[in-house]
Structure 1
Amino acid sequence: MSGRELPTGWSFATLGELGEWSSGGTPSTKVASYYGGNIPWVKTGDLNDGIIKEIEDHITQDGLLNSSAKIFPTGSLLVAMYGATTGKLGLLPIPAATNQACAALIASGQNCDIIPYLFYYLKEMRNDLKAKAQGGAQPNISQQIIKEIECSIPPLPEQRRIVEKIEALTARSRRAREALDSLPALIDRYRQSILAAAFRGDLTSDGDSGRRSMPVGELVAEPTCNGISIRGTDIPPGIPALKLNALTDQGINFDARRYIPLEESRARRIYIRKNDFFVSRGNGSLELVGRGALASTPPEEIVFPDTMIRMRLDQNTILPEWFALIWGAPQIREQIRSRVKTTAGIWKISQHDLSSITVDVPSIDVQAKEIRHIRLGLGAIEKCRVQLDTATDRLATLDQSILAKAFRGELVPQDPNDEPASVLLERIRAERAAAGAAPRRGRRGGGKASA
């Protein structure tokens, strides 16, 4: 038992002392008549850490009678016991059956009043529940593990104040989270507007001066080319070769590599140089095909795969950094979309189609000015992203901090006039004894609990 000190009027009790626990079952899937009835049948995927809003599946009366499924009353507390969903919670809004992966604290009599408090208590305990999971491929917890969890129980009026306060604070944090969730799209829209303006030449006063619409095929110093396709391994020996996921928004990630058996004479023509520009020529996602990245100085001789197309730009006409920035503009993206083709679910763009994409190219001097303006705008966007990530991380811990304070007795004030929790627990024990459940005694608070 815990050695925690409880506020005056609180008591310890295990979840097993607070009501009857049970679980459901699954009717045979070989009998079609067991399914599609009017009895809601909850699975762990329906648990949403709140009042369950949607119950996808239903079973028939025959399915109920010919399985271990049973109907639990409105207000019952469900806990997921299996796999990745372990510790997920749900409150039944209507009478419903469950499968065997859901443990249920049955709402009945005195415990109906404390289930809202226990719901938040178990939410705060989720990581502890997961840590108790046992098994290999799909770790799980048992009803017995759940029933042995020790709870700190406040007086019933204080439970209600705690639940009310938690719900008020989490409603505020939920609104803040919704506001934060809308920001990435706004940030991306701002980024696109900067790049679109750069493509048009609107970022500098002389940006539109002398711009020429040129196909990509006229901007390269040598013909575009694909890389090589050879099966490789993640460890040497062999020639280092990039993987497709080496293309990132920040440039080429040279650590995303494999090693392929390739002769030096064949590798030489596809070694990567600083300022080579690479484009993804195929992807299952339309938004990722045609994605580009500029290479920095390679740490060693390294080649690229045939899933990438290399452009070696004519630096007398175009600055590689300017080209890499402009490549993200919506005007370029639209041209890519109009040229890609799909085969067996894979979107692809050819060297020929890539070479036909047009770019409005200003003078080298104007390109240099536009790089500075683009970098200034993207730098401001990056600061916004960092601040957003920080706020999101803080918000993610806020709800848990609220719960932790609540169950230490620090969230709402205690009232000495409240009936002690020990009296409530005695009523629950008496009720269960009258119903045939073996009573067990909890421990009172108001001092140091014994170890």
Structure 2
Amino acid sequence: MLPETWKLSTLDEIAKISSGGTPSRQTPEYWGGDVPWVTTAEVQFGTILDTAEKITVEGLNNSSAKLFPVDTILMAMYGQGKTRGQVAKLGIEASTNQACAAILLNEGHHVEYYFQFLMSRYEHIREMSNSGGQENLSGGIVKSIQVPVPPLPEQKKIAQILSTWDQAIATTERLLDLARQQKKALMQQLLTGKKRFPGFEGERKKYTLGELGNTFNGLTGKTKDDFGFGKKYIPYINIFKNSRIDVSALELVDVKEGESQSLSQYGDIFFTTSSETPDEVGMSSVLLDQVDELYLNSFCFGYRLFGFDSLLPEFARYLLRSEHVRGEIAVLGQGATRYNLSKKQLMKLELTLPPVDEQKKIASVLSGADQEIETLQSQLDGLKQEKKALMQELLTGKRRVLI
């Protein structure tokens, strides 16, 4: 229910809806000019200030492409993944391809307000898509999108409040990106020995993984129901996405009586065995959480250190995910059509290790960097959630603003 001073309308009633086009790729003279040309991949809930591709004035004039002014709202009508339904705002004059709907608001309608409103309706707009092999929006659907029309001063005030939140989100995103870059640089310097902390002068020694520990297998069976019966509802590692196992996100499994080979413990390292990309093959994860009973699934194999006198698990979690070590693992897993890593290959991996006291210091510093990243990520998630809740209230008139 809208406030009395608001009315319900459609985009077609408050804006001119248009679309772009693509100059012929067969005519080189149409491409590589100075006219920005937006594709749906660049429509990502932000302000577009540049484009990956440019066309010439000749290409613009000899196609259905059009030049749209600053503050035009663009909506992706179709595209891969999450693209469909996303919106962006032009911060420059630009043309677009035919997959973008261009929304040019009539006088008396504030661009930032409707940009925020369309962002808030992303999921609903996606549901309006045509059904078929690929669900798409159309110009007709875009025109039919219902929108509230508050008085212009109220539109401006709401947009101002939400823009303030956007600035806070953008600032936190920049800080998060900077923290990640700093951690990456620290890893490159500390793990390769290019930078050492004062007081750590010990010689770095070379070891193969085979000299430091042994491998073990995961539970056999195609699904968790194939493992047998015995100990019921025992947690097992079914997948990992970070360098530390998330023990709060484990699945449960029935384990055969007497099964012990796949029983994991603190400091165990796990490696993926197969992948379609070199970036994923041999990806490692280290179990640093204390758990009473935890089993490994067969999607990867485990590796257990003989002891912690040469390699600390806390240090291994960073070293085995560093760029230079990941590159060596990818080479070991090189295949014709798919990357596969065997235990025998991996045990040949050579590591250059500092003394354990230096490993402990490096791991502590990098762990501190991780904590900073996690804190910023948590702050960012909180800001986005708070803004989303505020959008639901302000953009629909459930919560009024003072003019």
Q: Does 1:53 align with 2:82?
A: no
- Distance of aligned partners of 1:360 and 1:217 in 2 relative to their CA distance in 1, 3 Å threshold: farther
Q: Which amino acid aligns with 1:131?
A: E
Q: Does 1:398 align with 2:367?
A: no
Listed as ranges, the matches of 1:119-138 within 5 Å are: 119-138=115-134
Q: CA deviation at 1:53?
A: 0.5
SS at match of 1:168: helix
Listed as ranges, the matches of 1:63-212 within 5 Å are: 63-83=59-79, 84-106=82-104, 110-111=106-107, 114-183=110-179
Listed as ranges, the matches of 1:306-317 within 5 Å are: 308=301, 310-311=303-304, 313=306
Larger Rg: 1
Q: Which amino acid aligns with 2:402?
A: P
- State how far apart, in whole Å, the 2-side matches of 1:249 and 1:330 are: 10
**Conserved in 1, the CA contact under 8 Å of 2:77 and 2:84?**
yes
Q: CA deviation at 1:129?
A: 1.0
**Conserved in 1, the CA contact under 8 Å of 2:72 and 2:89?**
yes
Q: Deviations over 1:177-236 (max 9, x none)?
A: 43355456678999999999xxx9x9xxxxxxxxx989565655xxx46879x9x95588
Q: Deviations over 1:151-199 (max 9, x none)?
A: 2222223323333333233223322343355456678999999999xxx
Q: CA deviation at 1:115?
A: 3.0
Q: CA deviation at 1:388?
A: 5.0
**Conserved in 2, the CA contact under 8 Å of 1:336 and 1:357?**
no
**Conserved in 2, the CA contact under 8 Å of 1:21 and 1:143?**
yes
Listed as ranges, the matches of 1:364-375 within 5 Å are: none
Match of 1:325 in 2: 314
- State how far apart, in whole Å, the 2-side matches of 1:5 and 1:183 are: 44
Q: CA deviation at 1:126?
A: 1.9
- Distance of aligned partners of 1:177 and 1:151 in 2 relative to their CA distance in 1, 3 Å threshold: same
- State how far apart, in whole Å, the 2-side matches of 1:325 and 1:235 are: 30
Q: Which amino acid aligns with 2:313?
A: A
- Distance of aligned partners of 1:234 and 1:63 in 2 relative to their CA distance in 1, 3 Å threshold: farther
Match of 1:28 in 2: 24
Match of 2:331 in 1: 342
- Distance of aligned partners of 1:31 and 1:329 in 2 relative to their CA distance in 1, 3 Å threshold: closer
Match of 2:262 in 1: 272
Q: Which amino acid aligns with 1:15?
A: L
- State how far apart, in whole Å, the 2-side matches of 1:174 and 1:330 are: 31
- Distance of aligned partners of 1:152 and 1:377 in 2 relative to their CA distance in 1, 3 Å threshold: same
**Conserved in 1, the CA contact under 8 Å of 2:76 and 2:83?**
yes
Listed as ranges, the matches of 1:378-393 within 5 Å are: 388=376, 390-393=378-381
- State how far apart, in whole Å, the 2-side matches of 1:132 and 1:41 are: 27
Q: Deviations over 1:118-157 (max 9, x none)?
A: 2222222222211212234432222222222232222223
Q: Give me the TM-score of the superposition, normalised by structure 2.
A: 0.65
Q: Which amino acid aligns with 1:405?
A: E
Q: Deviations over 1:6-39 (max 9, x none)?
A: 4x3x333222111322222223333434333444
For these two proteins, the number of residue pairs brought into alignment is: 373
Q: Deviations over 1:66-101 (max 9, x none)?
A: 433333344332222113322222333444332221
Match of 1:438 in 2: none
Runs (5+) with no aligned partner, structure 1: 203-211, 257-267, 363-369, 415-451
Q: Which amino acid aligns with 1:272?
A: S
SS at match of 2:147: strand
Q: Does 1:40 align with 2:36?
A: yes
**Conserved in 2, the CA contact under 8 Å of 1:285 and 1:347?**
no
Which of residues 413, 417, 431 in structure 1 aligns to 2:402?
A: 413
SS at match of 1:399: helix
SS at match of 1:22: strand
Match of 2:256 in 1: none
CA RMSD of aligned residues (A): 5.5
Runs (5+) with no aligned partner, structure 2: 199-203, 229-235, 252-258
**Conserved in 2, the CA contact under 8 Å of 1:36 and 1:59?**
yes
Identity %: 25
- Distance of aligned partners of 1:75 and 1:25 in 2 relative to their CA distance in 1, 3 Å threshold: same
**Conserved in 1, the CA contact under 8 Å of 2:14 and 2:109?**
no
- Distance of aligned partners of 1:191 and 1:122 in 2 relative to their CA distance in 1, 3 Å threshold: same
